[in-house]
Structures are given as structure tokens and as C-alpha cells.
């Protein structure tokens, strides 16, 4: 008999194909489910496992309502702030995420945000779509050069390091702030700032790659934006709650920031529409990992975790031990 699985969100066809082959699952292609839908489906099918994504708040309340048959919950994301890991641990429920496989694509997208914000991609695209008919003078519609600039990175973990590797290809000077200084083989010549505040005045471009948590919530507030040099560019492909969005909007509208590139927002998907009214913001609907290759790899990694636990082995990517 195949193990029984519930998938709480629509997933790519290749992942659904593996689910069909290896699991007994009523909707192998996934469904967009609420917490109540998930509990009902798990209960009705006596499911062994749950595959979820960050859309589902997997807090203590839903964990307490899980049927006893459920032996693992695997999220298809590297971020896990939607999961109450302590509650899962207290129940003895293995919970896993999908690190590593989305590092490159998230770093690629970060670079898209850097380039698009600095080089006015949103405005240029709008001009073309409106039927460009007037050539610009040499002083009009100018962006900022990316190559050679000073790039500040908050959080030099896996994704931050992958962004730094790309930035080196652009001849950028890399500055970073992180809870601890990294060894030289991970720094690759980047300049460490123990104090985030002290790094900010040296950043032409700042990109956030810190983990979301109580210590980083709202870390980019009005005071931090004011410490960036006038004309700096701000990029966030980490988590929206690292940013005080009123402060960011004020810095963008006052001209203190030249531009921003944003993939993540405080309230998703109902993001603050004041951002959409600004020409100097390049907006993306939380798509850091959204490539065929990476979404397939994330799904497969979640399934590998599920299969490991159902086979009595330790999870590959445990969120608690």
C-alpha cells in the first residue's frame, strides 16, 4: 500500500507525477486549501504526511488538530516562519523545509531586482508599451551604473553568499553585516561590519537576506533608511516583515532613495498599493524561487523528506532535532 499524502497547494506537474507514482493522494496536483480544508482532508484520508507551502499558517492551533496518523509535515519553502516549530517539536512531529535548492534562483532574482531598480526597467518597459516615439537626449531618463558599486548585504547566509558571488562578476565591492564574521573562504574579500548601522552609510545598494524573526522584524526602519547615502537603491527578496513599509515609501517619495526592487511585502498578496503608484519601484509578486527547475527541485526535496521519515529514517532537512 502506498503512503497517503495531502498537498495543500497547487504544485508543478513533474512533482505531481512523482506523487501519483509514489503516494496515495486525492489531489496529486495539489489544491489551494485553508487550514480547515487541510485538517478535513488529512482526517478523511487518514493521511501519513502533509506537504504544505508558506501560504498555510502552520501554527500551534492547526498542529494540535492534526490527526494522529500524520507523521511528517514538509514545507516547500526554505523560509519557515509560517511554522510553529516549537509546537511541532512538542508534539514530536518532524517538520522539514527545502534549503539549498532555491539558493541560485533567489540570488538570480535578487540581481534582477538590483539591475531593474538601478536601470529603471519599469519605466523603460512602460515607455515601450505606450508606443515609444521620441528619442531621449543624452541627459534624459538616466539610471545608475551597477558595475563597480558598493553592495551592502544584510545576512551572508546561503542566499546572501550567492548574491555576493554574482556581484563579484559585476566588479562590485561587497560589504556585509551578519551575526558573526564568516571565515575567509566564505567572505571572498567582502568587508564585515559587526554593526549594521555602521555599514549603511557605505552602501550604494543594499539588499536584505536576513532570516525573518523577532530580532529582524522591522529592522529597516526610518532611522536605517536615513543612514543610507542619498540616491541609494534598496532591494528586498527576503521577507516583507524586515521592512517598515511606511518608512520605505517615505524614503522613495522624498528622493532619499533612487529606487527599490521588491519581491516581498508585509501583507501578501494584498501588498500596499502605494508602491504600485511609484515609478521608481520595480515590483515582483514573491517569485524568488519561481522557475521550472527550482520549483520542481523544491517539490522533490519535500517528497524526499517525506519518504525518508515514512521509511523510518531521519528527515533530510529537519527544522528541529
Give the interface with ligand DGY as residue ranges (CB under 6 A). 54, 77-79, 102, 288-289
Dump strand ranges (E) for the chain: 5-7, 49-52, 72-75, 95-96, 150-154, 173-177, 191-192, 205-208, 232-236, 257-262, 281-283
Instruction: Compare residues 101 and 116 and give the one whose CB is closer to ligand DGY.
Output: 101
Total count of residues recorded for the chain: 321
Active site residues: 239, 268, 286
- Name the minimum Å distance from CB 224 to ligand DGY: 22
Render 103-144 in DSSP notation, one character per residue: HHHHHHHHHHHHHHHHTTHHHHHHHHHT---SPPPTTSS---
Residue 190 or 306: the one with the smaller Cβ distance to ligand DGY is 306
Q: How far is the CB of 166 from ligand DGY (least distance, A)?
A: 18
Q: What does DSSP assign to residue 277?
A: G
- Compare residues 146 and 298 and give the one whose CB is closer to ligand DGY: 298
Query: 280: buried, middle or exposed (CB in 10 Å: 19+, 13-18, 0-12)?
Result: middle
| Residue with Cβ nearer ligand DGY (78 or 118) | 78
Helix (H, G, I), strand (E, B) or coil at 161: helix
β-pairing, 150-154 vs 257-262, is unpaired
Amino acid at each position: 500500500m502506498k503512503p497517503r499524502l495531502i498537498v495543500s497547494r497547487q504544485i508543478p506537474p513533474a512533482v505531481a507525477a512523482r506523487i501519483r507514482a509514489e503516494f496515495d493522494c486525492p489531489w496529486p496536483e495539489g489544491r489551494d486549501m485553508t487550514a480547515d480544508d487541510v485538517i478535513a482532508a488529512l482526517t478523511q484520508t487518514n493521511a501519513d504526511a502533509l506537504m504544505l507551502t508558506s501560504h498555510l499558517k502552520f501554527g500551534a492551533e492547526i498542529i494540535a488538530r492534526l490527526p494522529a496518523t500524520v507523521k511528517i509535515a514538509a514545507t516547500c519553502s526554505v523560509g519557515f516562519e509560517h511554522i510553529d516549530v516549537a509546537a511541532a517539536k512538542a508534539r514530536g512531529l518532524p517538520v522539514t523545509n527545502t534549503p539549498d535548492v532555491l539558493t541560485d534562483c533567489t540570488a538570480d532574482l535578487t540581481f534582477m531586482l538590483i539591475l531593474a531598480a538601478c536601470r529603471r526597467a519599469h519605466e523603460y518597459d512602460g515607455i515601450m508599451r505606450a508606443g515609444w516615439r521620441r528619442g531621449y537626449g543624452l541627459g534624459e531618463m538616466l539610471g545608475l551604473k551597477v558595475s563597480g558599486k558598493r553592495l551592502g548585504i544584510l545576512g551572508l547566509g546561503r542566499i546572501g553568499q550567492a548574491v555576493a558571488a554574482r556581484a563579484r562578476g559585476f566588479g562590485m565591492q561587497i560589504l556585509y553585516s551578519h551575526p558573526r564574521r564568516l571565515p575567509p573562504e566564505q567572505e571572498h574579500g567582502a568587508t564585515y561590519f559587526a554593526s549594521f548601522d555602521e555599514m549603511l552609510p557605505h552602501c550604494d545598494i543594499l539588499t536584505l537576506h536576513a532570516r525573518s524573526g523577532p530580532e529582524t522584524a522591522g529592522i529597516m526602519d526610518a532611522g536605517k533608511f536615513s543612514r543610507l547615502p542619498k540616491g541609494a537603491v534598496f532591494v528586498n527578496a527576503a521577507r516583507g516583515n524586515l521592512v517598515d513599509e511606511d518608512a520605505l515609501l517615505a524614503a522613495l517619495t522624498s528622493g532619499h532613495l533612487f529606487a527599490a526592487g521588491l519581491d516581498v511585502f508585509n501583507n501578501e498578496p494584498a501588498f500596499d498599493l502605494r508602491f504600485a503608484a511609484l515609478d521608481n519601484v520595480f515590483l515582483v509578486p514573491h517569485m524568488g524561487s519561481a522557475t521550472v527547475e527550482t520549483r520542481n527541485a523544491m517539490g522533490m526535496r519535500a517528497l524526499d523528506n517525506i519518504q525518508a521519515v515514512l521509511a523510518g529514517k531521519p528527515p533530510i532537512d529537519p527544522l528541529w532535532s
